[in-house]
Amino acid sequence: MGGSIAREARSMLEEAGLGDALHCYPEQLSGGMRQRVALVRAFAFRPALLLMDEPFQSLDAATRRSMHDLLLKLWGKDRPTVLLATHDQEEATMLGSRIVLLAGTPARIESDLKAKAQCLRNETYGIRAGAITTIVRWANRSPDGGRR
């Protein structure tokens, strides 16, 4: 059984573009590479529920887009429920099949929406059902961008 787990982990790391870095120590990896390892590690144990709190906030735009693609690719295998918190409206609509908007202090649910991009994402990644919920926290702003 240990061999099959190792093969699966190696396969996931290769999908993440880390095949050449399998024998590197963490300090030898770039920040983006470390983020990909963390994402692979999160999915490696095939969780039923994955909680992600702004996992891509510190990444540049290009790396962020590639991490979104990797997240959807890894998620598409077993489709666990993912609860992803973000302040990025574009990220929420790109990744989420359901978007919950929080506003105010203390936070309250302002809107609970089904993502419009879900159908396109499902076609692109061959996903039959959505299970990624994104939570967007509007810091003193309404969803239309106005100050509260």
Domain extent listing, the chain: 1-45, 48-148
Give the confidence band of 117 by pLDDT, cuts at 50, 70, 90: low
What strand order describes the sheet that includes 49-53? 49-53, 81-86, 132-137, 98-103, 108-114
Q: What is the mean pLDDT of the chain?
A: 79
DSSP-derived secondary structure letter, 26: G
3-state secondary structure of 83: strand
98-116 tens-digit pLDDT: 888 888 888 888 888 887 6
Topology of 48-148 in CATH? Answer: Rossmann fold (3.40.50)
- The model's pTM: 0.75
CA-to-CA dists, residue 17 to 22, 30, 37, 130, 139, angstroms: 10, 13, 10, 25, 35
